[in-house]
Amino acid sequence: MARRRWTPENIETELRSLVEQLGQIPTRRQLEDRGLSGLYKAMRREGGDWTHLLPEPAPVIELAAVRERVATAAYFMHLNGEQGDPVEHWLAAERQIVAA
């Protein structure tokens, strides 16, 4: 089998595919397990930051804001005379907010 010539372009192409599969920049071991130890060496040789290939992180949800929304929704359930006690209202409000 011929040796593969690793250029910055095909390093990035191969890494994009692996990041999509793994959800992270592959470790040396993960590359070796796939028969891509040359890719690891090429990444080191080329240097640079490959983190731009990672997916965007999920937005951070402020827990206090969610808790306030649940409390408000549960309170209005009570005011509107919906059946249930405060805990049932709270759980129903959580389900509605999570579903949204």
Per-residue pLDDT tens digits of the chain, which is 100 residues long: 567 889 989 999 999 999 999 989 999 999 999 999 899 999 988 887 888 888 888 787 788 889 999 999 999 999 999 999 999 999 999 999 888 7
What is the value of pTM for the model shown? 0.53
39 contacts: CB under 8 Å, gap ≥ 6: 6, 11, 14, 15, 31
